[in-house]
A and B are shown apart, each in its own frame.
Chain A
Amino acid sequence: MTEATEAPATPKPTRIAPIVTLDSKSFWDAADREEFVGQKCGDCGQFTFPPRPMCPHCHSLARVEVKLSGYGTVHSYTIPRHPHPFGFKEAPVVAVILLDEGIRFVSNVVGVTPEDMKFDMPVEVMFEPTMNQHKLPVFRPRSTR
């Protein structure tokens, strides 16, 4: 049992685990390995998000998983105050991140107070644990550019 070897002080993650579908499984499997990947068409090379089985530009079924830069900017954000989101101690900052690759991804911005949130602020990916031993990509303010 892994629990026996775990430090007793480590708090158990309370964030709910990703909801995995067949078409998004490779994304979440990569996140478990702390890799932030995107879906690119194997034929025409265009990025698509959310992931889907067919490229809307050339209708290819060839999907290529590519490692993303993990860099982006805050395109929009909100702080859910009521009802308090399940699984969070403090109300999180939820944001739509515009990734450098040109696709948008809903996530959290961590390590920043709500007052310091700015539109278009540069952010970079990191990973946080969830219930059931999964991980998901969140973002923090980018230190160097």
Chain B
Amino acid sequence: MSRPGRTFTEAAIAGIGATEFSKESGRSELQLAAECSLAACEDAGVNPADIDGMITFTIDNSDEVTLARCLGVKDLAYTARIPGGGAAAAATIFQAMALVNAGVCKNVLVWRAMNERSQYRFGQNPAQGQMSYSAGNGTGSLLWCVPFGAMTPASWGALQTSRYMHTYGVSNRDLGYLAVQQRAYAATNPKAWFYEKPITLEDHQNSKWIQEPWLRLLDCCQESDGGQALLITSLERARDLRQKPVKISGACQSIPYNVEVISNYYHDDLTIMPEAWGTAKRLYAQTGMQPSDMQAAMLYEAFSPHALMQLEAFGFCGKGEAKDFIKSGEIAIDGSLPINTHGGLLGEAYIHGMNSMAEGVRQVRGTSVNQVKKRKVENVLVSSGMAGAILSAV
């Protein structure tokens, strides 16, 4: 018999848990983290005391050990905090998978919890003393943006995508079709902040400019309070747990040379997201799958153009074709690739991308409120640009 920790073990997502998504949680970020983590464990049927790995990403204010102390974790074997903020959302799944694959951990908790609307605001100019350009936050080159009036994520994102939109003739109205579809998904999702609040293309076009002439208000993710956690364990163990196991068929990170988070202006070709192309290449090589093997995708969209650029990076359409792909209804529930079926970060909430990871799990389980039914869901792509995973039915 081989020694423990020296065998390859398939990994699966066994539990998901979240708090409500709001604009004012009324409690601490640590409490949100503890509540969603407990919910993920209960969903799986795993005792929180048995968690032995904990992973989050930068710009989370809750300390690992403090959270472990809330949950009564009795013997933590591994912790990590992945750089890049929301770009690392899918990287949590990758690193948890790798730990389980290597036999280093048995029950890995990944989480993100924030009061990003009531306690502080990502979307506003940074307040005095609040400008924390700390290593790992993915904010390296923001020093080179802020004195010029590019002070918000929307401004950094617009500078990043305007060359793409210009090159392929993507108008702001074209982006509206994405916002309308995602708000339609949110409208039928009781957990979404914009539940029962669909929009029309005219609503989109009447919303105020945030970044002229690229992004309107309805192209931007929300600012939200809330927490989201996932529990990753071995596929073998997950089969015996409470929920239908969701196998992690492949997962990876990709940070090509000269790419950085959001102030991402220094790589060769600003009409693509090289990190998403890198993630796609690695994921398809790992799994032997191709775009047509996916029945749905959750694509990180802090700002709507990034969803278009990821559709192209993952090969769901050609370069410059995403606007027509969206306009023709391919991302609707009966289309060839429904995306962000919970309403996404625009419609459900902005839990820094982690809530989109959870929707990927629900689609594989068959429990989404906007369940893909046209084809049986075998594989779902979840992407945060710099990382991605393919979640599969077993």
Contacts and interface: CB of A to CB of B under 8 A. Distances in A.
Interface in B263-298: 263, 265-266, 270
B13 to A, nearest CB: 37
Interface of A: 15-19, 21, 24, 49-50, 56, 75-83, 85-88, 91-92, 94-96, 104-108, 114, 119, 130, 136, 138
Given A76-B166, A96-B159, A96-B265, A82 B148 contact: no
A80 B211 contact: yes
Interface stretch (B136-144, B188-196, B321-329, B357-365): B136-144
A94 B158 CA distance: 10
B163 to A, nearest CB: 4
Nearest to B155: A80
Interface of B: 123-125, 131, 133, 140-141, 143-152, 154-155, 158-160, 162-163, 166, 208-214, 217, 257, 263, 265-266, 270
A78 to B, nearest CB: 4
Contact of A77 (B141, B144, B162): B162
Contacts of A15: 147, 149
A106 B162 contact: no
B143 A76 contact: no
A15 to B, nearest CB: 7
Contact of A136 (B147, B155, B166, B270): B147
A87 to B, nearest CB: 7
Contacts of A83: 123-125, 151-152
A50 B141 contact: yes
Contacts of A138: 148
B211 A106 contact: no
A81 B150 CA distance: 10
Contact of B212 (A16, A24, A78, A96): A78
A79 B266 contact: no
6 pairs of A and B residues whose beta carbons are closest in the complex: A85-B149, A78-B158, A76-B163, A92-B149, A81-B209, A76-B162
Residue of B125, B154, B208, B265 ringed by the most chain A CB atoms within 10 A:
B265
Contacts of B217: 82
A138 B150 CA distance: 13
Contact of B211 (A79, A92, A108): A79
26 contacts: A19-B131, A24-B143, A49-B266, A50-B266, A75-B270, A76-B159, A76-B163, A76-B166, A78-B150, A78-B212, A79-B212, A81-B212, A83-B123, A83-B125, A85-B150, A88-B149, A92-B149, A94-B150, A95-B159, A96-B159, A106-B263, A106-B265, A114-B213, A119-B163, A130-B147, A136-B147
A104 B147 contact: no
B155 A94 contact: yes
Contacts of B210: 80-82
Contacts of B213: 79, 114
Given A78-B150, A85-B149, A108-B149, 7 more contacts: A17-B147, A82-B209, A83-B152, A91-B149, A95-B159, A96-B270, A114-B213
A138 B10 CA distance: 54
A104 B160 CA distance: 12
A90 to B, nearest CB: 10
Given A79-B212, A81-B208, A82-B208, A19 B143 contact: yes
A78 B266 contact: no
A138 B173 CA distance: 31
B133 A19 contact: yes
B151 A106 contact: no
B147 to A, nearest CB: 5
Contacts of B154: 80
Nearest to A84: B125
Contacts of A106: 141, 144-145, 148, 150, 159, 263, 265
A129 to B, nearest CB: 12
A118 B263 CA distance: 21
Contacts of A82: 208-210, 217
Contacts of B270: 75-76, 96
Contacts of B158: 78, 80
